[in-house]
Amino acid sequence: MYWLTGVLLPLYLEILSIDQQPMDFDILSIKQRFGIIGNSPLLNHAIQVAAQVAPTDMSVLITGESGSGKESFSKIIHHLSPRKHNQFIAINCGSIPEGTIDSELFGHEKGSFTGAHEARKGYFEVSNGGTIFLDEIGEMPLGTQARLLRVLENGEFIKVGSSKVLKTDVRVVAATNVNLMKNVNEGKFREDLYYRLSTVPIYVPPLRDRGEDILLLFRKFATDFAEKYRVKPISLTDDAKEILLKYRFPGNIRQLKNLTEQISVLSTENKSINGDTLLQYLPKDQSHLPALYRDPEKDKQGLSERDLLYKVLFDMKKDMNDLKKFVLEALQSEGSASQVIEDHSELFEGLDNNNIEQVPTPPEKPVLLNINSTTPDRDHTYDNGDADIEDIAHETEEDESLSIEKKEKELIIRALRKNNNKRKYAARDLGISERTLYRKIKQYELEDL
């Protein structure tokens, strides 16, 4: 085990000797106690806030991306508080079905619903005097939010199927990886509950914003897995370290830990990982393909990916309308087609000028293309009369009057037909949840499609 000591001791000394910002003994002892690795200023600030608020009974809202370690901060708050000898319960609100979450949190009486064969205590009753950590609080139903608000304000709750008011003394620490204020504006989360929970907000930074902490965590995980699987610990070359620091890690610490374990097990020959080897383990769609640009300011305004899709569709429709008007003008023009093309040169950028000059003058009775058809109508010719021109102009006006609802309905129909009416895959193609797709199908009366 000499090699293990030779890895752990330098790693520990490196954590202590990093020269970023002054760190007091309390933060260092908290990191050692709860196994937190890193020394980024954002991380130290979050730990400091958690330590300061722990001795109080104030509600805390922990925000941060999934996998960034929010539950560790809830444990810091509980174990540094006067409630540390009482029960600590962590609950994932997103994993409990909507129909049973009230029973899980507040309990129920015998016979209050089908399957309630006996009375049951809820988490708020069981953890009286302790702490409850409500993860993914944004997934909590509105009805349950009203019950939770009463607990926070008065310490009172009522079991499902009962009329008796019970008292509890529980500290609530909540966490979320979504923008709760956006949910408030959309009516998905109670505004009064939001402000009641966020008495003290704590922001846990994502791994990509923690700089050199990524390398420290990688070495810690590599050492742990080397001991677990009885292999030599892996290390990174300089180019591999650069790649690791530039990677965005959408899964944060959880993803880094899984990546380190995968490399530790599969790299049996060479334990010194270079850049090319590391790239083989990183997801290809994240490393090389461009990601959808997200503007934080527009996200605050509620601009979703579906809104961006609509914008692209309407831009394409506008371009098609411009093309129709151009063809209409070309058909009505008494001059040559070349002159018309020159007047609209912006539509033909990148084309060879020689090719433009060779465009023939339209005949006296030109062939009208069926622009709205997916294939050219080669079997029919039409007189260049006023009726045909008016039809095209009228058709253009109708296209411009199309509503968003109609486009949305068309997209849903196309997605369902593409996936043979398998709504799960259709919802995935549309970028919406299955629940939303079912609601849209009912709204547009597409059940018999």
Domain 19-111+118-206 has CATH 3.40.718.10: no
* Higher-pLDDT residue of 285, 33: 33
In percent, the amount of the chain with pLDDT more than 70 equals 71
State pLDDT tens for residues 132-148.
Answer: 999 999 999 999 999 99
**Does the pLDDT of residue 381 top 80, yes or no?**
no
**Does the pLDDT of residue 273 top 60, yes or no?**
yes
State pLDDT tens for residues 316-349.
Answer: 777 777 777 777 666 666 555 555 555 555 555 5
What mean pLDDT do residues 20-36 have?
Answer: 75
212-287 folds as: Helicase, Ruva Protein; domain 3 (1.10.8)
Query: CA 344, CA 340: separation in Å to the nearest integer?
Result: 6
Task: Tally Cβ neighbours within 10 Å of residue 55.
Answer: 12
CATH 1.10.10 residue spans of the chain: 404-443
| Residue 72 contacts residue 33 (beta carbons within 8 Å) | no
State pLDDT tens for residues 164-190.
Answer: 999 999 999 999 999 999 999 999 999
In percent, the amount of the chain with pLDDT more than 90 equals 54
Can you read off the two tokens belonging to residue 214?
Answer: 């990524």
Which of 243, 240, 228, 227 is CA-nearest to residue 272? 240
pTM of the entire predicted model: 0.60
**Does the pLDDT of residue 157 top 50, yes or no?**
yes
What mean pLDDT do residues 1-17 have?
Answer: 44
CATH architecture for segment(s) 404-443: Orthogonal Bundle (1.10)
Say what the pLDDT of residue 163 is.
93
State pLDDT tens for residues 230-271.
Answer: 999 999 999 999 999 999 999 999 999 999 999 999 988 789
Say what the pLDDT of residue 5 is.
45
Query: CA 266, CA 44: separation in Å to the nearest integer?
Result: 34
CATH 1.10.8.60 residue spans of the chain: 212-287
Enumerate long-range contacts of 226-234, CB under 8 Å, 24 or more apart.
Answer: 226/4, 226/7, 226/264, 227/4, 229/264, 229/265, 231/264, 231/265, 231/268, 231/271, 232/3, 232/271, 233/3, 233/4, 233/7, 233/264, 233/271, 234/260, 234/263, 234/264, 234/267, 234/271, 234/272, 234/273
CATH 3.40.50.300 residue spans of the chain: 19-111+118-206
Say what the pLDDT of residue 354 is.
47
In order of 9, 229, 263, 272, 281, the CA distances from 268 in angstroms are 24, 11, 9, 10, 14
SS3 content of the chain, % helix, strand, coil (to 5): 55, 10, 35
Burial class (CB in 10 A: 0-12, 13-18, 19+), 316: exposed
Say what the pLDDT of residue 324 is.
72
Which of 373, 434, 448, 444 is CA-nearest to residue 408? 444
> Which single residue is written with the structure tokens 């090389």?
288
